[in-house]
């Protein structure tokens, strides 16, 4: 398949008050990616971000106990910022210029947060944002295609890929994470491109789709992108394969195909489906997470309210645990054998998984229904879960003495909280790298030059 570059647009900074609209985009020549996206130079940047990016280096940041959670408040058009250790949690808000801020994605180096805005008919637009965590100021860019969506960062290059929920087609958008420029947009074979996972060598990206219309030949396959060639080279699976996760060792990637009630297991090196893992009829498999040792993967079986456990050696479902309505995602503690499982339905609780025993051992009530996303601080002390069906987020604490996860507070931030992401305070270095992270101060920067200030009390 020939590559089809839809657009090439420079990063656009706009005022805080702008019209949420996009201009028509004409096809352009293929950009020379060697001049816009480069391999990491010098010491690699530190990664600790979303569940689609590798490596997830909590251990390198475990000494940085202070930082901020960024939480899009989708229904109210703002982003909440919380420091659990500060007075009144340091709660403040970032105003945004576009409707429905959806998910935050931390760029390598822990300085900038990519924000996608899920318009979906509520003021259609093609905007995305970058937050500078030093100043909490946001600037914007545009893709030319409505609804920029989920993303992932390359483990080897200065590159972010994100999808979009455009109902007319599927695309992946390439961004340079050094210059914060949009480099290109590439057409995929499906519609409404969603979860993206990179191979550990950065050569390939796997792209899920949530568009599904079998009567018109649309099967929601997983596309394989040759990153350097900027070309889709394969399509795998069918049945709306939208939610994916790669094993920690990078050998296999799983995508849940909810309309077919299967998970496809893809050999990363061969880019071939090695097995379709059958699931209960009507279970609606959704988000996937691997246990750190890769022995098991856990999938939210949304339609039956259970957490499915996949034996990775056998590639088969071995158990389904009662969790809650619309069981969604699993978030592993950085060091303990515990995980928080969210339930994105009518229930107002999270489930606590003991992953060593593969048992649900507790349920914690939250301040709202539809517990959706969560994130741990890298030292494993704090966890915030978003309550999409209410106006709060719930702060949980891991108590090392008892080895338990405990409720701390429900913090009112506004309705429709969706994603959540933690970023550390740091100063004096432009980004955190493998070489400088242990010697960089865990203090906030007071300006865009990186001058060190004092921790909030």
User: Average of pLDDT values for 298-315?
Assistant: 98
Task: Report pLDDT digits (tens) over 200-245.
Answer: 999 999 999 999 989 988 889 999 999 999 999 999 999 899 999 9
The ranges assigned to domains in the chain are 1-63+96-240+425-457
User: Average of pLDDT values for 406-419?
Assistant: 96
Instruction: Give Cβ neighbours of residue 368 (< 8 Å, ≥ 6 apart).
Output: 348, 387, 388, 389, 390, 391, 392, 394, 410
Band of the pLDDT at 33, cuts 50, 70, 90?
Answer: very low
pLDDT of residue 20: 32
Query: Residue 406 to residues 25, 134, 251, 403: CA-CA distances in angstroms?
Result: 50, 30, 35, 10
HEC per residue, 148-213: EEEEEECCCECEEEEEECCCCCCEEEEEECCCCEEEEEEECCCCCEEEEEECCCCCEEEEEECCCE
Asked if pLDDT for residue 6 goes beyond 60, the answer is no
User: Average of pLDDT values for 414-433?
Assistant: 96
This prediction has a pTM of 0.92
pLDDT of residue 11: 30
133 in Cβ contact with 68 (< 8 Å): yes
Band of the pLDDT at 5, cuts 50, 70, 90?
Answer: very low
Q: How far is CA 159 from the centre of its chain?
A: 15
Task: Report pLDDT digits (tens) over 85-112.
Answer: 999 999 999 999 999 999 999 999 999 9
Q: In percent, how much of the chain has pLDDT > 70?
A: 92
Task: Report pLDDT digits (tens) over 344-402.
Answer: 999 999 999 999 999 999 999 999 999 999 999 999 999 999 999 999 999 999 999 99
Asked if pLDDT for residue 42 goes beyond 50, the answer is yes
Architecture of the domain defined by 1-63+96-240+425-457? 7 Propeller (2.130)
Dihedral over alpha carbons 155, 160, 166, 170 (to 10 degrees): -50
Instruction: Give Cβ neighbours of residue 204 (< 8 Å, ≥ 6 apart).
Output: 198, 224, 225, 226, 227, 268, 271
For the chain, the average pLDDT equals 90
3-class DSSP assignment, residue 272:
strand
Task: Report pLDDT digits (tens) over 127-148.
Answer: 999 999 999 999 999 998 888 9
Asked if pLDDT for residue 24 goes beyond 50, the answer is no
Q: In percent, how much of the chain has pLDDT > 90?
A: 84
Lowest mean pLDDT across 24-38, 43-57, 107-121, 322-336: 24-38
pLDDT of residue 216: 86
* Torsion angles phi and psi, residue 433, rounded to 5: -120, 170
């Amino acid at each position: 398949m020939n590559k089809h570059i839809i657009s090439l647009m420079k990063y656009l900074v706009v005022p805080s008050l702008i019209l949420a609209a996009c201009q028509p985009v004409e096809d352009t020549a293929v950009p020379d990616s060697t001049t816009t996206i480069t391999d990491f130079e010098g010491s690699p940047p530190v990664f600790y971000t979303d569940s689609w990016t590798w490596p997830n280096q909590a251990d390198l940041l475990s000494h940085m106990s202070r930082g901020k959670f960024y939480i899009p408040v989708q229904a109210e058009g703002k982003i909440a910022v919380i420091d659990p250790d500060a007075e009144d949690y340091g709660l403040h808000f970032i105003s945004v210029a576009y409707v429905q801020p959806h998910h935050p994605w931390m760029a390598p180096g822990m300085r900038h947060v990519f924000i996608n805005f899920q318009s979906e008919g509520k003021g259609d637009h093609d905007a995305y944002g970058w937050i500078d965590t030093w100043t909490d100021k946001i600037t914007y860019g545009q893709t030319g295609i409505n609804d920029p969506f989920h993303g992932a960062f390359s483990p080897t290059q200065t590159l972010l890929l994100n999808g979009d929920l455009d109902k007319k087609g599927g695309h992946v958008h390439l961004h340079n994470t050094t210059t914060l420029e949009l480099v290109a947009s590439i057409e995929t074979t499906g519609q409404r491109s969603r979860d993206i996972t990179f191979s550990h060598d950065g050569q390939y990206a796997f792209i899920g789709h949530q568009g599904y219309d079998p009567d018109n030949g649309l099967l929601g396959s997983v596309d394989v992108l040759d990153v350097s060639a900027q070309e889709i080279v394969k399509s795998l699976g069918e049945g709306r394969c939208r939610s994916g996760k790669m094993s920690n060792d990078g050998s296999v990637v799983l995508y849940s195909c909810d309309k077919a009630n299967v998970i496809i297991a893809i050999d990363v090196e061969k880019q071939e489906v090695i097995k379709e893992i059958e699931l209960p009829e009507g279970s609606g498999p959704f988000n996937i997470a691997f246990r750190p040792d890769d022995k098991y993967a856990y999938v939210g079986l949304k339609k039956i309210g259970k957490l499915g456990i996949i034996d990775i050696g056998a590639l088969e479902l071995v158990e389904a645990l009662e969790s809650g309505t619309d069981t969604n995602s699993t978030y592993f503690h950085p060091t303990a054998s515990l995980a928080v499982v969210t339930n994105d339905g009518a229930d107002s609780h999270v489930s606590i998984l003991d992953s060593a025993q593969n048992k649900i051992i507790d349920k914690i009530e939250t301040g709202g229904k539809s517990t959706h996303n969560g994130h741990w601080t890298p030292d494993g002390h704090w966890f915030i879960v978003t309550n999409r069906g209410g106006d709060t987020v719930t702060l949980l604490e891991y108590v090392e003495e008892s080895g338990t996860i405990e409720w701390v507070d429900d913090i009112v931030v506004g309705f429709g909280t969706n994603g959540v992401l933690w970023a550390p305070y740091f100063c004096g270095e432009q980004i955190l790298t493998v070489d400088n992270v242990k010697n960089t101060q865990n203090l906030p920067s007071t300006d865009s030059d990186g001058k060190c200030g004092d921790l909030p009390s």
